[in-house]
Amino acid sequence: MKKIAFTNQKGGVGKTTSTVNVGAGLSLMGKKVLLIDLDPQANLTYSLKMRTSRLDKTVYSVLKGEADARDVIVPHGDFDLMPASLELSGAELELANEPARECLLRDAIDVLYEYDYILVDCPPNLGLLTLNAFTAVEEVIIVLQSEYLALHGLSKLMNVIEVVQKRLNSNLEVRGIICTLYDNRKNLNREVVGHIREHFGSKVFETVIRDNVALAEAPSHHKTIFEYDDGSHGAEDYLKLAREIRNGY
Ligand SMILES: Nc1ncnc2c1ncn2[C@@H]1O[C@H](COP(=O)(O)OP(=O)(O)O)[C@@H](O)[C@H]1O
Ligand SMILES: [Mg+2]
């Protein structure tokens, strides 16, 4: 069993796309996978079209202690999802005075031993929800857009990870860095990925996720990239990445 959080406090860098499609790739390899949507924008949940009528219980109910993790999990094809809803946006404030407020997710999912992988899609900030994710997992995967300023803000993220390692979760490690939205025709993209590799060495996954329109289209069809266009660059890249993640180095 591996628990992995996909993170970057920037929005629009490919966290949700990576969580969904790495999860789908791992499930294609026969692994039992749970995706947890921990972003109040609930993009992951909506992109898989979990009907809101069925969502009277979400990860929010779990964090508030009003539901057990298993009561909230819904199946989606080959993997399972713990959905989010917009009310999660109130969680940061509402949970601010809870004792051990950073440990709520960890304690709630501790009982889910049936999964090979639990992947957590983080919100685009370093608030209480992200701290809950970092406390609940053993591995963090940082998602970077292959663009100018990709590394901007990364030292702050690393600081937060260090603080969590010291105070909340000594098992936590940075498993790897994904470079996404890569366009080989753009010099700048090549330079940025080169720079990221120079800086982080073998921490950077060999697989780079190319800019691929099918990846942007799949969510509006409520499909993973493998369901939407199995022959696309996006499907090829995410399957390769899922293999790297499964194999370790
Ligand atoms: N490799 C890619 N190629 C093309 N579009 C992508 C790619 N990865 C993500 N996108 C699109 O970019 C936008 C932001 O991606 P998303 O995964 O939602 O980022 P985040 O979760 O970090 O905010 C979405 O519209 C998504 O469909
Ligand atoms: Mg997202």
**Closest to 82 in 3D by CA, of 64, 109, 106, 103:** 109
Asked if residue 144 has pLDDT above 60, the reply is yes
State both tokens at 223.
């499909």
* CATH number for the domain harbouring residue 86: 3.40.50.300
Distance 12 CA to ligand 2 centre (A): 7
Which residue, by CA, sits nearest to atom 25 of ligand 1? Answer: 216
Asked if residue 53 has pLDDT above 60, the reply is no
Asked if residue 55 has pLDDT above 70, the reply is no
Q: Is 215 in the pocket of ligand 1 (CB under 6 A)?
A: yes
pLDDT for the residue 50: 61
Q: Is 211 in the pocket of ligand 1 (CB under 6 A)?
A: yes
Which residue, by CA, sits nearest to atom 24 of ligand 1? Answer: 216
Task: List b or e across 181-190, with b for residues whose CB sees 16 or more CB atoms inside 10 angstroms.
Answer: bbeeeeeebe
- pTM of the full structure: 0.97
3-state secondary structure of 43: helix
Q: Is 181 in the pocket of ligand 1 (CB under 6 A)?
A: yes
What range does the domain containing 41 cover? 2-247
Q: What is the share, in percent, of the chain residues with pLDDT greater than 70?
A: 97
Top pLDDT among 238 and 51 is at 238
- pLDDT, tens digit, 9 for 90 and up, residues 67-125: 999 999 999 988 999 999 998 999 988 999 999 999 999 999 999 999 999 999 999 99
Q: How confident is the model at residue 137 (pLDDT cuts 50, 70, 90)?
A: very high
User: Total structural domains in the chain?
Assistant: 1
Q: What is the DSSP letter of 224?
A: -
C-alpha gyration radius of the chain? 17
pLDDT for the residue 51: 54
pLDDT for the residue 150: 85
pLDDT for the residue 54: 59
Asked if residue 185 has pLDDT above 90, the reply is no
pLDDT for the residue 38: 98
